C-alpha cells in the first residue's frame, strides 16, 4: 500500500484544493463552470462535506465533492478518505451520508456501491432539482 497522510484541510491548502476542484470539474466535463483561480501542487485528493438535517432521518453528513487525482487512484486513498468520513459521521451521530454521482460516472458508482451505498434515484424515485439565482431573485421580489 502507498504511503500517504490523511488530514483535515488547512488555510495553506487552498491552492491545492482549488486545483483539485478544477480537475474534478474537468473529469465531470464541466471545467468551464469553475471561475476561481490559484496555482499549486502537493495535495492529491480531497473531500468537501457538511452536516445537514433531514426531518425523517435526522442529522446526516452530505458529501459535496470527493476526488483523488487519476494517477493516485488504486492505492487506497479514496477508501481511507471515505473511512475517515464514515468515522466522522458516526462520531457526530449522523444517521447516514448522502451525495450525488453523475449517471455516466460508473467507476465512482461502483466504488460507492461496493461500500454499501444505495442509489436513491432508482430505489426510491427521488430526483434532484435546482432553482437558479435569477429565479430565486424573481421569486424573492414578488409581492
| Owner of C-alpha cell 488530514 | 7
Virtual torsion, Cα 8, 13, 16, 19, nearest 10 deg = 90
pLDDT at position 9 is 84
Q: Which residues of 9-18 are buried (b: 16+ CB within 10 A; e: fewer)?
A: eeeebeebbb
* Structural contact between residues 80 and 6, judged by C-beta atoms closer than 8 angstroms: yes
User: What pLDDT score was predicted for residue 126?
Assistant: 82
- pTM of the shown model: 0.68
The topology under which CATH files domain 47-141 is Aminopeptidase (3.40.630)
Instruction: Split the chain (143 residues) into runs of 10 and give each run's mean pLDDT.
Output: 79 85 87 66 84 94 93 89 94 95 92 92 82 90 83
Would you please indicate which residues are annotated as catalytic (active-site) residues?
112
Rounded Cα distance, 108 and 7, in Å = 22
Specify the pLDDT at position 65.
94
Where do the structural domains in the chain lie, given as residue ranges? 47-141
Amino acid at each position: 500500500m502507498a504511503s500517504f497522510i490523511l488530514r483535515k484541510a488547512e488555510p495553506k491548502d487552498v491552492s491545492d484544493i482549488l486545483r483539485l476542484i478544477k480537475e474534478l470539474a474537468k473529469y465531470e466535463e464541466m471545467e468551464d463552470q469553475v471561475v476561481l483561480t490559484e496555482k499549486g501542487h502537493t495535495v492529491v485528493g480531497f473531500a468537501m462535506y457538511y452536516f445537514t438535517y433531514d426531518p425523517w432521518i435526522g442529522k446526516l453528513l452530505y458529501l459535496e465533492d470527493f476526488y483523488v487525482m487519476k494517477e493516485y487512484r488504486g492505492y487506497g486513498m479514496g477508501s481511507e478518505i471515505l473511512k475517515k468520513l464514515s468515522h466522522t459521521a458516526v462520531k457526530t451521530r449522523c444517521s447516514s451520508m448522502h451525495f450525488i454521482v453523475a449517471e455516466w460516472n460508473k467507476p465512482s458508482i461502483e466504488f460507492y456501491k461496493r461500500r454499501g451505498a444505495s442509489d436513491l434515484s432508482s430505489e426510491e424515485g427521488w430526483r434532484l432539482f435546482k432553482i437558479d439565482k435569477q429565479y430565486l431573485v424573481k421569486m424573492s421580489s414578488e409581492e
